[in-house]
Amino acid sequence: MKMMLKSWLASWKYPSILLFGMGVANIGSWIYFIALNLIVLDLTQSALAVSALYLLRPLATLVTNVWAGSLIDRMNKRHLMIFLDLLRAILIALLPLSSSLWYIYSLVFMINMAGSVFGPAAGTYMTILIPERQRQRFNSLNSLIGSGAFMVGPAIAGMLFVVGSPSFAIYINAAALFISGLVTILMPNIEKDRFAGNTKTRITWEMLKQDWIAVIQFYRRSAYIWLVCFLFSCVMVVMASAVDSLEAAFAKVVLQLSERDYGILVSIAGAGIIAGASMNTLIVKKVNISLMIGLGTLGVCLGYLVYAFSTSFVVAAAGFFVLAFFLAFANTGFYTFYQNNIPVEIMGRVGSMNGLIEAILIMLTTVVMGVAADVVSIKAVVIVGVLFMFMLGAILSAFVLQSSRNDYFKMNSES
């Protein structure tokens, strides 16, 4: 028993350190997100100026992800993650130094660019570091930590606003990213030998062209993997983002909720996320990956349907809780599927291409639904959007729950 415990602790040493670093960064990002919104609102007194912050992330992704994958797959991921954490910490610390709106937008754009590179780099590093038998458990714990950050981050931000200011909260986030970078230094340099001879990576148009061809050829050979990735992105990222962009307007205009009631609604969603993520960590090794994706996605879509057709606070709250509850199951299942089926040699490029396509679709869908909401009505647009989302979710579930595709969702027992 003692030897088994020692072996288990050894196998989870680095994953635990990684989860800690990611947890600190996640909490900091929520503090930064809320504080930045308040700084821009106080500076401009304009909701449009705040809304512009939400467009900077997909715009940064469009600019970055064309070449980011080529860089990630040719560099030491641990070194790149450390550099990006420290770079973002410095850029965030510079934010409160000027009250110029364009200064803030420029820095936020660069921070988002660094984040667009960090995501695929961290995903690839995690896949290399975490053995296949541990990935499902690791992903469930990562979802739980992310859920905790969703609840803890805003609460900490609120306390910081009481004792300090939004600028002080921004500095706290810079410190959190700095700590995350230091924690990453403690992680093993698993690509030390692979990139030992690389002094610098020069990106050329020919290289980019060949890399994009390599990703397209992989997806052509693995059409089923592409289909699952594409449908999951459309349901859980694109349509969810577009519907969420109308969330506040739907709550106030359609449901006629006060700001206090809307705040409670968001808190109920947070409770649903915590409940779902906690349940997920308990049963994760007993549920097949395909079932987690299929039923998790349908559960999220069902929650959105209840919310879209709601006419009262209670029904909307039930919808929020249901969709939030199933998020962890869907995400854990999909991330495990992704890590098990995408070769690590091209994972940076695949992740960057996926992110680029997502960013384009998010911008198009959000604009279309926003314009349609003004022309028709918010409720009608949300209902149509959610029905389309549910249809895509049902198609995805049908594909992943096919018994003939079980080889893509095999689970290895955890030691």
pLDDT (0 to 100) of residue 415: 44
Q: Counting Cβ atoms within 10 Å, is residue 74 exposed (0-12), middle (13-18) or buried (19+)?
A: middle
Please give the average per-residue pLDDT across 373-390, as a whole number.
91
Angle of helix 289-308 relative to helix 378-400, nearest 10 degrees, comes to 160
Please give the average per-residue pLDDT across 335-359, as a whole number.
91
**SS3 per-residue string spanning the chain:** CHHHHHHHHHHCHHHHHHHHHHHHHHHHHHHHHHHHHHHHHHHHCCHHHHHHHHHHHHHHHHHHCCCHHHHHCCCCHHHHHHHHHHHHHHHHHHHHHCCCHHHHHHHHHHHHHHHHHHHHHHHHHHHHHCCHHHHHHHHHHHHHHHHHHHHHHHHHHHHHHHHCCHHHHHHHHHHHHHHHHHHHHCCCCCCCCCCCCCCCCCCCHHHHHHHHHHHHHHHHHCHHHHHHHHHHHHHHHHHHHHHHCCHHHHHHHHCCCCHHHHHHHHHHHHHHHHHHHHHHHHHHHHCCHHHHHHHHHHHHHHHHHHHHCCCCHHHHHHHHHHHHHHHHHHHHHHHHHHHHHCCCCCHHHHHHHHHHHHHHHHHHHHHHHHHHHHHCCHHHHHHHHHHHHHHHHHHHHHHHCCHHHHHHHCCCCCC
Q: Counting Cβ atoms within 10 Å, is residue 22 exposed (0-12), middle (13-18) or buried (19+)?
A: buried
284 vs 302 pLDDT, higher one: 302
pLDDT-derived band at 271 (thresholds 50, 70, 90) equals confident
pLDDT in tens, 96-124: 888 888 999 999 999 999 999 998 999 89
| Of 25-29, 118-122, 135-139, highest mean pLDDT | 118-122
Please give the average per-residue pLDDT across 179-186, as a whole number.
90
Please give the average per-residue pLDDT across 306-327, as a whole number.
92
Is the per-residue pLDDT at 153 higher than 70? yes
155 vs 276 pLDDT, higher one: 276
pLDDT-derived band at 228 (thresholds 50, 70, 90) equals very high
pLDDT-derived band at 45 (thresholds 50, 70, 90) equals confident
Lowest mean pLDDT among 8-12, 19-23, 151-155: 8-12
Please give the average per-residue pLDDT across 274-287, as a whole number.
86
What tokens does 127 get? 């896949």
pLDDT (0 to 100) of residue 10: 60
pLDDT-derived band at 199 (thresholds 50, 70, 90) equals low
- Residue 269 and residue 320 in contact, taking contact as beta carbons nearer than 8 Å: yes
Is the per-residue pLDDT at 297 higher than 50? yes
Count of CB atoms within 10 A of residue 248's CB?
Answer: 15
pLDDT-derived band at 220 (thresholds 50, 70, 90) equals very high
Q: Closest Cα partner for 70 from 349, 371, 258?
A: 349
Is the per-residue pLDDT at 168 higher than 80? yes
Residues near 215 by Cβ (< 8 Å), separated by ≥ 6? 69, 346, 349, 350, 353
Looking at the chain, the whole-number percentage of residues with pLDDT higher than 70 is 93
Lowest mean pLDDT among 30-34, 156-160, 244-248, 267-271: 156-160
pLDDT (0 to 100) of residue 306: 95
* Average of per-residue pLDDT values in the chain: 86
Please give the average per-residue pLDDT across 281-291, as a whole number.
87
pLDDT (0 to 100) of residue 12: 76
Radius of gyration of the chain (CA): 21
Is the per-residue pLDDT at 304 higher than 90? yes
Please give the average per-residue pLDDT across 363-367, as a whole number.
88
Query: What's the whole-model pTM score?
Result: 0.85
pLDDT (0 to 100) of residue 11: 67
